[in-house]
Structure formats: structure tokens, C-alpha cells
Structure 1
């Protein structure tokens, strides 16, 4: 007779605990395809076409755990652990990190927003990138601007970061990130800070962002890991600054967008021309800048079929003790995507890139993001057919 009340009390206690623990979600994305490239560098001035199995053509492969715990009074503990990998060979991405895409924990409040700590995205990625087609469901990896110079496609994350993200105030959101150098006596070496904001009102969305890194990739302890195996830092330089703005406007089933970003690097010494783990040296410290102008559009032909396209013009400037050139990139990107279900779609995409004005420098060969190898000429074309599924 005494067992039943004790059992009921115990059950009630565990029900309360289970309610307080809230939820943990397992999620992921897999993207694989076959890509034809008209020209990839082989040796010297020789290039050759290539047909290859590829992964992450639209969105990089990943799996993750996302969770929250209700602490009461509108407060929650939140976390995300997200691992990147390649489905073509099963290897970890982001330099072999277990949770290389994201790894953070923090507190969130319904009225005031959230504060999180760990490996996270910067504010340019959080607020401005959705205005572009790169890094989104409508364009992805191969649509990125040359060398992903503005990081709109998440070429790197921020280590040792503390981030504030506001709540949604009638369409307005804003936030900031600070990445610590973690070095005694060198507080500013390889540190990062960024700010961003976005606003949505009916069919209009607009955003702006700024990011500055002091000595990006200078060491392995700071905000942007620069070790040879990290595959994190696209550039090593004395300073890197990125700023930009963009807007999208929806008209029925169509959305058009315009994005401008500018990237400036002071005394740059290396650049990733295919793999950040094997960067190419400039020869001497160089001042480098990119102005990216992207016009994009997407249209839902039917509920299952959507098409999208982007044109990007990039105006660059490279100067050092030996040379001063003004390379220019023209890139046209097209995507047709068909949903087989809510989680699975098949796609066909094509990207054309042409660069001129960079003769005699490491910028001379065209390089479509995600292809992995620079062209032996100033033109590169890639066509990919693939499948993507989410869970």
C-alpha cells in the first residue's frame, strides 16, 4: 500500500526533470554530386578537363546536435555542436576538427537575445550572407565570390568567440562577435571583431555587416587558426577588413537581390588558391582589395521546382614591391533545383568565371569556389549534377 504513493511521487519528480531538460535535436545535411570542370591546373602552364565526384556543392556536409533547456522566466540554456565532413571519403572537414563547423554554449532570453561562447560564425555571415546566394539553399558553395574573400560562404569560423545576438524587434535584429587572441602579451594578435544587423518588413529584407581581423592566420591560438593543417584561414595578412550591405525584394514567386562587399588586406603574405592548408605565397607582402557586386534572383516555378542565378563582378587591386595590377573577375552562376520531398532534392548547376588583368601573379588563374584546383587559364567552367538530403 505504501509503494504506490512512493512510485507516483517519483514519477512526478522525473516528469518535472524531463520537462526542465527540454530538447536535444540531431540534424544533418548530405550533398553529393558529379562535377565536370573544363580546366584544372596540372603542371607549369598545362591544364586539363576533369570529371570528379564532389561533395558539398550547394551546402557542405554536416551533422550536429542542437539543444536547449528551459530555465524559467523566459531564460534558456542553449548549445550547438556541428561537425563538417565530406561524404565522398568520410573525412572530417575544417582541418579535421570533430566539431569544426560550430561548437558553442550560452544563454538566451526571449526579450533580450542570447550570449554564446565557443567556435562560431561572424556577424557578416549571420546577417549579410543571407542576402547573397552563396551559402544559402539557392546557390551555395560554388556561387561564392573569388576566394570567398568576404567570407559569405563561411570559409572560416571564429575561435575563442563571444557573441551577442538580439531578439527580433519587429523585424530588426542585430549582434556582434569578438574573437580573443588568447595570447599573453599579444592581446591584439589574431583577434577578430564584427558587427551586423538585418531588417525585414513585408517583401523587403536588408542587412549590413562589418568584420576586422588583426593578423588573421598568424598563429593557431587566436580567432582564425593559421596552422598549415587547419584549413581555416584563406589569407594571412597584417589586417583584414570586410564590410558590405545588401537587400532582397520579393515579388510573388520571385525574389531579386543586390549585394556589395569590400575586402581589404594589409601586407598579405599568402592566399588560398584551392586549399587553405596549402596556401600560395605572394612573393612579398602585398596590399590586396576586392570589391564584389552581386546581382541575384530566384524563382519558384512550381512548389517543387525552383531556379536561381547570380552575376558577380569583382574589381580587385594587388600591389607590392614588384608589381601593381588590377584584376577583374566576372562570374555567372545558374541553378535548377527540384524537390523530391520536403527533405530531398536533386539539382543541376553551372558556374562560369573569367579573370583578366592579373597576368604574372598568383591571381591569374580562374578558380570557382569548391572546385579545389585553379585553372591553368583565365577561364573556368564547372557543371554539377547532384542530390541533397536533410535529416
Structure 2
């Protein structure tokens, strides 16, 4: 009898251990903090330009923590989930006031043979397929390296709510992606909906990616914006900050925002060089206003000087059609960064960005504003320098 009980207990523990081995939940995160100097920011009290020293959370990558998990369902099929929160290290608050998992929150199924299908709040295909080829979408540049206003969302300033997303497995070097974000509004199917597509191809040292994103809105006034739709808040600077304090990208204030782009990286020895092009078209800004478009041309280079020292630099030229008159503005931006890794999880870095803008006197875009800086410059030039510490867990 005792032998039978012992055998039964052993079997139960063995089965429990096997079941546990087929499921996993992991806590992960990234903490990024730095001291940033800016030569000119408009003062909220005097309105004039002043230099500023700031403690910044996420100068390169947004600080975050999350939970991800998977359960093996057999036959190469898994149930997966990811819950990710972005936070401000300076004060411990969420970067979005009304969301716990403001960066990502999804559940789905993943198959080695058929790909991955997920449901929830997720990143679009410009972020997934083009962002990694631009220094702004990587650990080698990040927030301050973003194209003006992060108008193409390569730095993941906003995510898509109510999204159904598919990503294919790799097929002879190719990978495909698609996403649709529902408006979730009765009688307003297209009022704040989103959809995107992406494709990538890897062949030896060559890495190519392309993406497309479209946001639609039927709102005629800011009061009619669908607050439960596909895009409702941001975690970084967007062009809307020039015109309104509403925490939504211009796609929700336009009848349509259409962004597409492509990039290519090539690795040779310890170096990786790349070029990226994106274009964002805004149709009927504020629903009844003018249409405009932004084009970004980026060249970038990163070089592993030693296993512990990484250097990176980028030049971006941006041009736009006039939004409210005053000529067609254009930007030049030069960015550079040096990082030293103490380990695979902890590094320090020094980075700097210069931005210059040229626009007519009647344009609201006539002052420089580096992405992630608290306020725009009082002039057509702005410089920032940051020394920071980053830790991953």
C-alpha cells in the first residue's frame, strides 16, 4: 500500500513538473535615465529661449517593464501573451495616465509553421519592419534621434488599440506582417481605425524592410474624436504638439494619415550602414484644413570599435509642404552616440543631436524641436547632449 501511495505521488509530481516545463512566464524590463543639456528651450514663464539641464527618463529607449508568457499546446502551437508598461523614471508614474499596460497588451497563438496571430494593443508594421533599420528605432540612437516630431512613428510614439495582428514565419528570408485596428464605434466604422502592412527580407549581410500605416478619422472637431478607437494617446512628441495639447497624433485630427517607408542595412565586418526613407501624408488637417506631407531621408552608420564600445551616427534631411503658409519648411539633423557596455545588461552612453530648420516667417514650424526635448527652441536651431545609464533585466 505504501509503495502504491509513493508511486502515485511520484507520478503526480512528475506530471506537474512536465506541465510546468511546457509553460513559462517571464518578467522583463529596461530602465534608461540620463542628464540632458539643451542650449535653447522656450520658457513657460518668460516665453524667451533659455538653456536647460534636465534629468530625463528614456533619452534613448523608453523605460518599461513587462510580463510575457507562453504555453506549449503541442504540434508546434503555443498560446502567448505580452503585457508591457511604460513609465517615467523621474516620478514613477505611467507614461499614460489611464493605462496600466500602455505600451503593449495582447494575447494570441503562435505556430512554427503558420506564424503568429495576436489580439490587443500592439505596434504597427512601420515600427516592426522599418524602425529597426533606422537608428531612432534601435538602442543605438532612440528617442532624440527620431525624425522631426516622430511623424513616421519609427520611434514607437503611439501604439494601435483594438488590433488584430498577423506575422508570418520566415520563408526563404522573407517575413510578412499585417495589422488592423478597429474603431469599436457603432455607426462609425472608420472613425479612428488603423491598418498597416510590412515585409522584410534578409540575405546574408543585407537586411531590407518596408512598411505602410494608415489612420482614418471621421471626426469633424476634436470633441468628436473617438476616444475608444485605434489610436488615442502617445508616449513621445508628435507634430500635434505644435498645434494642440490633445494627446493624440495628427492622424486622429485629420481625415487620413498615411505613412509608408523602406530601409536597408548592410553589415561589413564590425560596421553596419543603412539608409531609410519615409513619407507621411496628412489629408485635411483638422478635417477642414489643408493637406500636407513630410519626407524623411536618413543615412546611418554604427561601428563596434571593441566588443564593449559601440559608435553610431545618423544624418536626416526632412522636407514638408507648407501647413499654414510661410513657405515649405525643411530640417537638417545630425546625431551621434557612443556607448560602453559594462555587461550584456548594463551600459553607459554619451549622445548629442543638432537640428536646424528653415521655414517662412509665417510658419509655426519655423523653430527647431528635437524629439523628446521638453520644449521647442526659440530659434531655428537646437542642440542637446545627454550622458546616460541603461539597465536591462
Runs of 4 or more above 6 Å deviation: 227-230
Give the match for residue 251 of structure 1. 268
* 1:269 to 1:42, Cα distance in 2 relative to 1, 3 A: farther
Q: Please say if residues 326 and 359 of structure 2, whose CA atoms lie closer than 8 Å, have aligned partners that are also in contact.
A: no
Name the count of aligned residue pairs. 375
Q: Please say if residues 158 and 233 of structure 2, whose CA atoms lie closer than 8 Å, have aligned partners that are also in contact.
A: no
CA distance in 1 between partners of 2:115 and 2:93 (Å)? 35
Give the match for residue 351 of structure 2. 349
| SS class of match (2:17) | helix
Give the match for residue 62 of structure 1. 64
- Worse-superposed segment, 200-209 or 212-221: 212-221
Give the match for residue 50 of structure 1. 52
Shift of 1:318: 2.1
Residue 308 (str. 1) matches residue 312 (str. 2): yes
| 1:167-221: CA deviation from partner (whole Å, max 9, x where unpaired) | 0112211110000000111101111010000111111001111111102983211
CA distance in 2 between partners of 1:358 and 1:39 (Å)? 20
CA distance in 2 between partners of 1:94 and 1:233 (Å)? 14
Give the match for residue 195 of structure 1. 197
CA distance in 1 between partners of 2:95 and 2:353 (Å)? 23
CA distance in 2 between partners of 1:144 and 1:71 (Å)? 40
Shift of 1:324: 5.5
Give the match for residue 325 of structure 1. 327
* 1:17-166 equivalences in 2 (<5 Å): 17-20=19-22, 22-42=23-43, 46-166=48-168
Give the match for residue 285 of structure 1. 289
CA distance in 2 between partners of 1:324 and 1:136 (Å)? 35
CA distance in 2 between partners of 1:251 and 1:64 (Å)? 34
Larger proportion of strand: 1
Give the match for residue 279 of structure 1. none
- Worse-superposed segment, 76-85 or 9-18: 9-18
Q: Please say if residues 348 and 386 of structure 1, whose CA atoms lie closer than 8 Å, have aligned partners that are also in contact.
A: yes
Shift of 1:15: 2.2
Q: Please say if residues 76 and 108 of structure 1, whose CA atoms lie closer than 8 Å, have aligned partners that are also in contact.
A: yes
| SS class of match (1:349) | strand
Shift of 1:350: 0.3
Q: Please say if residues 155 and 232 of structure 1, whose CA atoms lie closer than 8 Å, have aligned partners that are also in contact.
A: no
Q: Please say if residues 199 and 209 of structure 2, whose CA atoms lie closer than 8 Å, have aligned partners that are also in contact.
A: yes
TM-score by length of 1: 0.92
Give the match for residue 249 of structure 2. 233
Give the match for residue 237 of structure 2. none
For structure 1, the 5+ residue unaligned runs are: 271-283
CA distance in 1 between partners of 2:389 and 2:290 (Å)? 41
- Worse-superposed segment, 257-266 or 95-104: 95-104
Q: CA RMSD in A?
A: 1.9
CA distance in 2 between partners of 1:244 and 1:156 (Å)? 17
Shift of 1:231: 3.7
| SS class of match (1:318) | coil
For structure 2, the 5+ residue unaligned runs are: 235-243
Give the match for residue 226 of structure 2. 219
